[in-house]
Amino acid sequence: MSLTQQFLLISILPLSFLGMALYVWRSGLKRRELLYRWLFALLAAAVWASSVLRFYGGATTPISVTFTWGVVGAYAFSVTAVAVLLATLSHLSALRQYGRFALGLSLILSAVAFFLDYQIWPNRIPDFILAGQTICQFDLWAATWIAGWLISLVAAWILTRQVKTNFPNSLYRNQIHYWLLGLLLFMIGGGFASVQSPSGQPGWQETGLLIVILAAFIGTISVTHTYLPDLQVALRQLFIRLAGSLSIFGLTWLVLSFIVRSVTNLPADTSPNLVLFLAAALFAGLFTFIYRLINELIRRLFSPKLSRQEATLLERSNSADSLPEPEQLAQLFLQVVQSELGTNDAWVFTAEGGVGERLALRPLASLGNYSLEATTFAEDSLFAAYVRQNRMPLMQYDMDTLSSFDDMPAAERDRLSSWKRILYMPLHAGNNLVGLLALGQKAAGESYNRQDFACLQSLAAEVSPLLAQAQNFAGLRQENSRTFAQNQALAHEKQDLYELLNLHEQFVSMVSPELRRPFTAISQEIARLQTGLAEHEQDSQPIAALKQQIAELQTAIENFIMIAGRLQSREPIHFQPVDLDEITQQAIRSLRTMAEARRVQVAYDPIRTLPLIIGDADLLQEAIQHLLHNAIKYNKIDGNVTLKYDVNDDQICLRMKDTGVGIPQERLASLWQGLRLTGNGNGRKPGLGLPLAQYIIAAHGGRVEAESSYGSGSIFSIYLPVASNEE
């Protein structure tokens, strides 16, 4: 290979730093200080890497150019180390005071090395002996130059280690792990690059350059990526693939060497085509066997350790007090799938909708930066039916080839094809579908095999119950937040009602004496007038009518004061399960004397299976007594009152039918207005019983209805809600 070809090949190395710098610039990194410092480090590394090209310039390159190029490259690496320390301080945002001290010391040593460089300055320091060793100027320069860049890298590594030790487990911790690895590779690469070969060959420099390129690549990943996989898992996967590839390469090389030697040593009368055919068949069979054998061996050597590590994470998240959010649990699940199956393309959906309903899939987590949207499948969807009824993985190839999916609508088939998924794994908790795992191709382009299916089923069996619990907990947290907000609103309303009640009490206590006071003086004055006009009957009639009207007004005001006082002095309602049958019988017994005096027959037909209600027994008995008192009072002599319960769905109805004179239709609407002065035309005036009864029933979540027509009796119906089974 000519020097020109070698020059072009080695030029790829400095260009790789420029490519990483361009990638960092276009990554949109928001931390501008870190962006500029890391760009500066990559550009300085590119200058240092380009100095290796001077070895391949040939005789056409002037010696002065080669010399200057080497000097600039040496100090460009020192600048690279300083820039890496600056980027570390920006990346960690901590312990900057210690980093600045190391930065200053590194710059001082680099400056000392620059002034000790005999290739730049003509003056020379004479050799001297230290600890029995002869020290020359080159030794002093090399020591200070190496110490200059090494202090920067060691300081960056120590600061990163301190942050890693004190920082909790998080995604940012993964970034620190990658940054630590990059710094370690920087120091190793710098050590190789510092070795000067006696023969003048750049082998050590090229080796160090390759290591530094790897370090810069890892550092670029740490700077530009937030979501990084666990470093140990990533390194283990890389080692597994490298081990497999190198093993196959070595065995293949041995087989090919054997075939070549066998073909060249064949007798002259042997057909070479037949030998090559048999050798190719043997090689193909042996290659297939070796490939499967190595994969199985690597799986047995490395996968159990990896499985135990990830299983520990799942067991830790299985406790109720540390159960993560559904998104976090799904992301952890995807990391396990990534490590076990070697795929970087996976989605997790949550599933909503039972059997016979539309299946709604909502994106929960993914590997990579995917913008997923929720999708819905119809009730009769073949895909929805399969994932609901089966716990086995479903391949996209199966849906394209199996006859059981021939009736799949074209729109649904196109939708699944547009996802570009290879495999779908249903996630079941009990008999319910809680999620769906959708996988793309493996990173190595391999097909999913039987071991992969078994691994997926095992992982799904562990994760699905956890995912269901996490979803339930998330729903409970949302419901708890909503309930807390409602409780806060109710507390404010309660405070408002409390202040309103205090205002009502003050109003009643202030107004009641003022309403009563005028009637005493008016009554005395009317009595005096009646005494003076007793002999004139015609003149006393208007006085009597006025007295009657004032009496009615006084009665209304007394009723108003009485009901206001009643509401003011009422006690809180004590809700508890009560039996309406017993309450009704007590109400009938309390009014039995009144019914016998008016010769009214009260008939009650109880129900054996009358359900319980939640209420205050004393208040409910009072409400029934008010209505029953009204039915007896306005009944006919020898009349009847019939009480009967009906149970309808979630409520109980008590119907109270009397044989009284009835109520005109135009008066039904004003029955519950107990403070009105006018009657109903038959001497039946509404009192306070009906409004109080309506208030009590409404406070229990029920209602009172009245049906009547003049001359045919009345029916009063009480509706109350039935207590739920949970209560």
What tokens were used for 11? 């030029």
The matching CATH number, chosen from 1.10.3470, 1.10.10, 1.20.120, 1.20.1070, for 3-228 is 1.20.1070
Helices (H), 317-395: 326-341, 382-389
Residue 5 has pLDDT above 80, yes or no: no
Domain map of the chain by residue range? 3-228, 240-315, 316-480, 504-569, 576-721
Bigger pLDDT: 202 vs 655: 655
Q: How much is the pLDDT for 681?
A: 43
Q: How much is the pLDDT for 98?
A: 72
Q: How much is the pLDDT for 296?
A: 67
DSSP per-residue string spanning 125-171 = PPPEEETTEEE-HHHHHHHHHHHHHHHHHHHHHHHHHHHHHHSPSSH
Q: How much is the pLDDT for 103?
A: 84
What is the mean pLDDT of the segment spanning 341-357? 84
pLDDT-derived band at 677, boundaries 50, 70, 90: very low
Residue 4 has pLDDT above 70, yes or no: no
Answer yes or no: same fold for 316-480 and 576-721. Answer: no
Long-range contacts of 8-16 (CB under 8 A, 24+ apart): 10/52, 10/53, 10/56, 10/206, 11/50, 11/53, 13/49, 13/52, 13/206, 13/209, 13/210, 13/213, 14/46, 14/47, 14/49, 14/50, 14/52, 14/53, 15/46, 16/49, 16/213
Q: Which of 298, 310, 284, 169 is nearest to 239 (CA)?
A: 298
What tokens were used for 242? 């490298």
**What angle, 0 to 180 degrees and rounded to 10, lies between the N-to-C axes of helices 12-26 and 3-10?**
20
Bigger pLDDT: 700 vs 670: 700
pLDDT in tens, 566-594: 565 566 778 888 989 999 999 999 999 99
Contact yes or no for 579/612 (Cβ under 8 A): yes
Q: How much is the pLDDT for 537?
A: 56
- Range with lowest mean pLDDT among 112-116, 461-465, 679-683: 679-683
Q: Which of 342, 344, 346 is nearest to 244 (CA)?
A: 342
pTM for the model stands at 0.42
Cα 709 to Cα 69, 330, 488, 626, 667: the distances in Å are 116, 69, 48, 20, 10
Architecture of domain 316-480: 2-Layer Sandwich (3.30)
Q: How much is the pLDDT for 548?
A: 66
Q: What is the CATH number of domain 576-721?
A: 3.30.565.10
Cα 374 to Cα 362, 426, 436: the distances in Å are 4, 17, 12
Residue 474 has pLDDT above 90, yes or no: no
Bigger pLDDT: 36 vs 288: 36
Bigger pLDDT: 149 vs 517: 149
Bigger pLDDT: 643 vs 453: 643
Q: How many CB atoms lie within 10 A of CB 52?
A: 21
Q: How far apart are CA 633 and CA 296, in angstroms?
A: 97
pLDDT-derived band at 43, boundaries 50, 70, 90: very high
Residues in the chain: 727
pLDDT in tens, 609-629: 888 898 889 889 999 999 999
Residue 198 has pLDDT above 80, yes or no: no
**What angle, 0 to 180 degrees and rounded to 10, lies between the N-to-C axes of helices 272-316 and 450-532?**
30
Could you give the angle at the alpha carbon of 575 between the alpha carbons of 477 and 491, nearest 5°? 45
The SS3 assignment for 265 reads coil
The SS3 assignment for 460 reads helix
Helices (H), 194-230: 203-224
Residue 316 has pLDDT above 50, yes or no: no
Residue 682 has pLDDT above 50, yes or no: no
pLDDT-derived band at 443, boundaries 50, 70, 90: confident
Q: How many CB atoms lie within 10 A of CB 272?
A: 9
Q: How far apart are CA 26 and CA 218, in angstroms?
A: 17
Average pLDDT over all residues of the chain:
78
Q: How far apart are CA 367 and CA 339, in angstroms?
A: 12
pLDDT in tens, 425-442: 999 988 889 999 999 888
Q: How much is the pLDDT for 602?
A: 94
Q: Is the dihedral of CA 232, 234, 237, 241 positive or negative?
A: negative
pLDDT in tens, 213-241: 999 999 998 888 765 666 766 676 677 76
What is the mean pLDDT of the segment spanning 102-124? 81
Q: Which of 418, 172, 169 is nearest to 316 (CA)?
A: 169
The upper half-sphere exposure of residue 630, i.e. CA atoms within 13 Å in the direction of its Cβ, equals 27
Q: How much is the pLDDT for 704?
A: 92
Bigger pLDDT: 282 vs 212: 212
